[in-house]
Amino acid sequence: MDIYDLINDFLEHLEVESGRSKKTIDNYRLYLERFVEISLEVLGKNEMGPQDITKELLRKYRIKLNRYGTDNGNEDLKTITQTYHLIALRGFLKYLARRDIKSLDPSLVELPHVVRKQVTFLHFDEVEDMLEEIDLSTESGLRDRAIIELLYSGGLRVSELVGLNRDSINLDRREFVVRGKGSKDRPIFISQSAADRVRDYLDARTDSLPALFLNNSRHKQTVDTSGNYRRITARSIERIVEKYARLAGITKHVSPHTLRHSFATDLLMNGADIRSVQSMLGHADISTTQIYTHVTDMHLKEIHDRFHSETS
């Protein structure tokens, strides 16, 4: 069987039966097509089948993948990016095994050890410094304040915030549901301040567009009927967050995800249990949430200072 036909079958399976997002499927297609590209070069063939995927081919593929950027005059692929390639390949091999198509045992695809980057977060006073830089006399300022407060108060991913509509959020109850990664729904709870700032922004608007947050630049905007006309983009939100962090004199790199980190860190520092934080972040695996437990270091220092005997 042709390898490309099998890859297409696998991607359709991910879409229909596994409910994976379009972005995930596009990424898997890229990773698997790159695998075939490298494999054909290694094999010295113009075409290949699933039976050609052997332990030796896998070994040579990993070497080529590690040198992929250098060989193509670009930056080398980061270890985490190489890991995504291997996860896609392992998923494909599992799919072939379920269909009884002879190929490499998926258990032989071992993932490299990835050292997690240190989490960057803002303290509460730094978030307040950002908010104080916003001019609330304009509609754009009211929008920006509402965006930053929602990101920090609800721990939203930027993609989740972009997709919100006016009727998505209950400002009286200060809670709503978002559909996050893996098409999983989770509840979002926000502070009274965040709810008030969203209400201020909506009260200032004179349009009837469904999107909760709008891009105020009307240049090159085309009217559509999908409900996305003038909907703000993730990149615009990134610029907004970066702008106010810079104005507040914060030197560390600040992104919308930094505010999500800050949300989780603030909860843990104030005594929230990690399982609850896991649920509020929408993490499928608690090991993902455990990257935030670095904040307990501060509590450990307090315990050390309080209980450890000093020598004279």
Same domain, 138 and 104: no
Containing structural domain, residue 69? 3-108
Helix then strand then coil, % of the chain, to nearest 5? 60, 5, 35
User: Is residue 115 over pLDDT 70?
Assistant: no
pLDDT tens, residue by residue, 170-194? 999 999 998 877 678 899 999 999 9
The structural domain count of the chain equals 2
Same domain, 220 and 293: yes
pTM for this model (two decimals)? 0.67
Catalytic-role residue among 68, 95, 201, 292: 292
User: Is residue 76 over pLDDT 70?
Assistant: yes
User: Is residue 213 over pLDDT 70?
Assistant: yes
> Is residue 219 among the annotated active site residues?
no
Same domain, 89 and 149: no
- Tokens, residue 228: 């996305």
Catalytic-role residue among 13, 29, 199, 257: 257
Strand positions, DSSP E, the chain: 169-170, 175-179, 185-189
Same domain, 157 and 297: yes
> Is residue 98 among the annotated active site residues?
no
> Is residue 197 among the annotated active site residues?
no
User: Is residue 114 over pLDDT 80?
Assistant: no
Helices (H) and strands (E) in the chain, counts: 14, 3
> Is residue 29 among the annotated active site residues?
no
Catalytic-role residue among 90, 181, 186, 243: 181
Judged by phi (left if over 0) then psi (alpha if -120 to 50, else beta), residue 47 lies in beta
Catalytic-role residue among 20, 143, 157, 174: 157
> Is residue 157 among the annotated active site residues?
yes
End-of-domain residue from the set 75, 108, 141: 108
CB within 8 A of 112, min separation 6: which ones?
A: 79, 82, 83, 86
Same domain, 261 and 203: yes
Same domain, 139 and 274: yes
Q: What does the alpha-carbon distance between residue 35 and residue 27 come to, in Å, rounded to a whole number?
A: 12
Q: Is 119 within a domain?
A: no
Burial of residue 78, with CB atoms counted within 10 A of its CB: 0-12 exposed, 13-18 middle, 19 or more buried:
exposed
